[in-house]
Amino acid sequence: MKYKVNIKKTEEGYSIWVPGLPGCWSQGKTEKEALENIKDALKSYLETIEELTKGHRTRYVKVG
């Protein structure tokens, strides 16, 4: 699965976040490191959402 990410150079390195997933962000000293780190952040974010919605009625929809 692919996610759009935004990346910004900062004084400390690179900040990276997923615009479609509020609060899902990471950072790295290099752009490459930031891109690798956001993968872990995405995994943790999605696992947390799965846990929080356990027991709720859910459906999947196809877009496009």
**pLDDT value, residue 61:** 94
**pLDDT value, residue 7:** 98
Question: Could you give the dihedral angle defined by the CA atoms of residues 24, 16, 33 and 38, in that order, rounded to the nearest 10 degrees?
Answer: 20
**pLDDT value, residue 37:** 98
Could you tell me the two tokens for 58? 């859910």
**pLDDT value, residue 46:** 96
Would you identify the CATH topology of the domain 6-52?
Double Stranded RNA Binding Domain (3.30.160)
Q: What is the pLDDT of residues 4-59, one digit of tens each?
A: 999 999 999 999 999 999 999 999 999 999 999 999 999 999 999 999 999 999 89
Which pTM was predicted? Answer: 0.84
